[in-house]
Amino acid sequence: MRKGLSSFNLVSAALGLAFLYLPIAILVIYSFNASRLVTVWGGWSLAWYRELLADGAMLESAWVSVRVALVSATAATILGTLAAVALARGGRFRGRLLFTGLLYAPLVMPEVITGLALLLLFVAIGLDRGFWTITIAHTSVTLCFVAVVVESRLLTFDRSLEEAAMDLGAPPLRSFLLVILPLIWPAIAAGFLLAFTLSLDDLVIASFTTGPGATTLPIRIYSEVRLGVKPEINAICTLMIVLVALGVIAAAVLNRGRASRRAEAVDLTAKL
248 binds other proteins per the rule CB under 8 A: no
165 binds other proteins per the rule CB under 8 A: yes
56 binds other proteins per the rule CB under 8 A: no
256 binds other proteins per the rule CB under 8 A: no
String of b and e for 80-105 (b: at least 16 CB within 10 Å)?
Answer: bbebbbbbbeeeeeeeeeeeeeebbe
Region for 126 from its dihedrals, namely left if φ exceeds 0, alpha if ψ lies in -120 to 50, beta otherwise: left
Residue 232 CB, nearest approach to other proteins (Å): 47
Q: Residue 34 burial (CB < 10 Å; 0-12/13-18/19+)?
A: middle
Size of the site for other proteins (CB under 8 A): 24
Number of neighbouring beta carbons within 10 Å of residue 21: 11
Among 23-31, 48-56, 179-187, 204-212, which window interacts with other proteins (CB under 8 A)?
179-187
Do the Cβ atoms of 67 and 215 come closer than 8 Å?
Answer: no
Among 76-84, 107-115, 129-137, 258-266, which window interacts with other proteins (CB under 8 A)?
258-266
112 binds other proteins per the rule CB under 8 A: no
Residues in Cβ contact with 247 at an 8 Å cutoff, skipping those fewer than 6 apart: 193, 196, 197
272 binds other proteins per the rule CB under 8 A: yes
Among 45-53, 62-70, 145-153, 262-270, which window interacts with other proteins (CB under 8 A)?
262-270
- Which positions lie near other proteins, rule CB under 8 A? 158, 160-161, 163-171, 174-175, 178-179, 182-183, 261-262, 265, 268-269, 272
